[in-house]
A and B are shown apart, each in its own frame.
Chain A
Amino acid sequence: QITLKESGPTLVKPTETLTLTCTFSGFSLRTSGVGVGWIRQPPGKALEWLALIYWNDDKRYRPSLNSRLSITKDTSKNQVVLTMTHMDPVDTATYYCAHSGGSGFVPFDYWGQGILVTVPS
Chain B
Amino acid sequence: QTVVTQEPSVTVSPGGTVTLTCASSTGAVTSGYYPNWFQQKPGQAPRALIYSTSKKHSWTPARFSGSLLGGKAALTLSGVQPEDEAEYYCLLYYGGAHFWVFGGGTKLTVL
Contact = CB atoms under 8 A, between A and B. Distances in A.
Interface of A: 37, 39, 46-49, 52, 60-64, 96, 102, 104-114
Interface of B: 1, 34, 36, 38, 40, 45-48, 51-52, 57, 89, 91, 93, 97-105
A46 B103 contact: yes
Given A47-B38, A104-B93, A109 B57 contact: yes
A107 B102 contact: no
A105 B99 contact: no
A108 B99 contact: no
Contacts of B47: 111
Contacts of B40: 47
A47 B46 CA distance: 9
A104 B45 CA distance: 20
A47 B45 contact: no
Contacts of B100: 37, 49, 52, 60, 107
A106 B52 contact: yes
